[in-house]
């Protein structure tokens, strides 16, 4: 149903994330927390469908986000920026900086989703402040920007609490919410399972949420904390799945290498002493 609605809606093709959601496959993404434009540039060439620049739990400033967007120019990977909060000022600044697809954390009610949509849109449809010159309008050179901006941006609302789950259908049905995204870390904490995003009750709640969205136009996404969970979520029919995290790849890989060669080095020293 989602793909049929996107195909029928000409406006959907103006945002790269919505356009990609119309393809016949789930979109596979990678989470970027390292706040390095070099890393982002390299990851954008790894053929993930989308890349999340994390401005909530990483020290990503607006200037950093612009650098990351520039690093991704020319690649087929779609940038998604998660801002620190569902705040109209942050939304305005990030859209002016050239971001087209935003992920907003901790959206818990229909009213909060509606306020987010309003912040994404210019008057009279919303409250986004209008500036004549900014990066998104090619510094004022794009004469069609103000007329087309509402169709070129996309909003992903994060579902991260029991309250949000209770209000899931209402949030997803808000006009202007293109997708909802289940955040297992905060959801686990809300369920009394802090630090256990892969716990079965958390997974079950997310799976149930996905089923409840089947007949709604909003897409459903999720962050997978393990490769095994990523496979389960893909098989469950999620429209987009974050399957990896750049910080986890680096640090877990480094730990594995350090452990391997530390053991070898200690074994060598022990053999030398015994010999």
Residues assigned a catalytic role: 57
Crossing angle of helices 88-96 and 110-120, rounded to 10°: 30
CB distance 209 to 158 below 8 Å: no
Residue 213, classified by CB atoms within 10 Å of its CB into exposed (0-12), middle (13-18) or buried (19+), is buried
* No. of helices (H) and no. of strands (E), the chain: 13, 8
d(CA 257, CA 246): 17
CB distance 26 to 239 below 8 Å: yes
- The dihedral built from the CA positions of residue 144, 138, 121 and 211, taken in this order, carries a sign that is positive
Closest C-alpha among 237, 234, 253 to residue 245: 253
* Residue 184 burial (CB count, 10 A): 24
């Amino acid at each position: 149903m989602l793909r049929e609605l996107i195909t029928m809606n000409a406006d959907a093709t103006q945002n790269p994330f919505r356009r990609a959601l119309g393809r016949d496959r789930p979109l596979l993404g990678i989470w970027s927390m390292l706040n390095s434009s070099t890393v982002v540039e390299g990851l954008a060439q790894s053929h993930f469908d989308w890349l999340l620049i994390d401005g909530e739990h990483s020290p990503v400033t607006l200037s950093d986000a612009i650098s990351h967007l520039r690093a991704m120019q020319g690649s087929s990977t779609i940038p998604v920026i998660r801002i620190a909060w569902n705040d109209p000022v942050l939304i305005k600044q990030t859209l002016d900086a050239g971001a087209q697809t935003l992920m907003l954390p901790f959206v818990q009610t229909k009213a909060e989703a509606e306020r987010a949509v309003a912040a994404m849109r210019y008057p009279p449809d919303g409250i986004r402040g209008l500036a004549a010159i900014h990066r998104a309008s090619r510094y004022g050179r794009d004469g069609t920007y103000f007329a087309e901006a509402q169709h070129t941006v996309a909003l992903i609302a994060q579902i991260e609490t029991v309250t949000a789950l209770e209000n899931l259908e209402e949030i997803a049905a808000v006009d202007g919410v293109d997708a909802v995204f289940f955040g297992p870390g905060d959801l686990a904490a809300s369920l009394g399972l802090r630090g256990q995003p892969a716990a079965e009750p958390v997974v079950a709640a997310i799976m149930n949420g996905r089923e409840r969205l089947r007949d709604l136009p909003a897409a459903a996404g999720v962050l997978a904390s393990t490769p095994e969970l990523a496979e389960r979520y893909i098989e469950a029919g999620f429209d987009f799945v974050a399957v990896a995290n750049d910080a986890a790849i680096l640090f877990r890989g480094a730990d594995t290498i350090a452990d391997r060669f530390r053991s070898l080095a200690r074994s060598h020293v022990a053999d030398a002493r015994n010999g």
